Amino acid sequence: MAKKLYYRDDFRADQPSDRNLPVISRDLDSIRAYQFEVEFRGKLDDRIYRLAAKQFSPAGMSVDDITVQRINDKVYYPGTVSQDEITITFDNLIQDDVGKSLWEWFKGTYNPLTGDLGDGDNKINRMSVIQLNHDRSLHSSVEYYGVYPKSWKPAERNYSTNEFHTIEVTFRFDFMEQTAQT
């Protein structure tokens, strides 16, 4: 919420002199879409992974309606909860071999070499999407719990482009929590 309103506080002020410039409110500035980090905590190998992510799809939860139809009316009640899938595009880094780590985790869901399907042990405790302020300080985070990889796709390889190689992984989660740090 804005604490200082430009149209109310400064618009009707007298013309500013050289030393008294009008103050422009920055209370309604938005967070930039590219100011985020993705962090994994849990069973991967008891380390915290903070990976370079290029893109993060919108992911949240929604409540399906229960429709009750009566003779002359229709009413709605909250029903079951549906979670969205999360698709993250990771930079395939040379130094940390992100592709291998993500592939090993995906093989816990389904191993194409053996045909084994994973179980609940493949889920990690928490995936955090950390939102940063303009000065790179922590603004807020979205915590996803019970996360496992559902699909793993390496990007196209092409001689005619000058882009970095990426890996796209789709995740499922059980629960989420939005936390504000400010």
DSSP 77-97: EEEEEEEPPEEEEEE--TTT-
Residue 114 lies in a domain: yes
For residue 82, being part of any structural domain is answered with yes
In which band, very low, low, confident or very high, does the pLDDT at 25 lie, cut at 50, 70 and 90?
A: low
Contact 79, 86 (CB under 8 A): no
Length of the chain: 182
CATH number of the CATH domain containing 129: 2.30.110.20
User: How far are the Cα atoms of 44, 162, 171 from residue 103, in angstroms, in the given order?
Assistant: 11, 24, 13
Domain count along the chain = 1
57 part of a folded domain: yes
Query: Is 4 inside a domain boundary?
Result: no
- For the CA atoms of 134, 140, 145, 150, the dihedral, rounded to the nearest 10 degrees, stands at -30
Question: Are the C-beta atoms of 10 and 22 separated by less than 8 Å?
Answer: yes
Structural domain boundaries enclosing 140: 32-180
pLDDT per residue as tens digits for the range 41-64 = 876 556 667 777 888 888 888 999
Does 73 fall in a domain?
Answer: yes
Q: What is the pLDDT of residues 88-133, one digit of tens each?
A: 998 877 676 777 778 888 888 888 888 888 776 778 888 888 888 7
Asked whether residue 103 is assigned to any structural domain, the reply reads yes
pTM reported for the whole predicted model: 0.72
Residue 6 lies in a domain: no
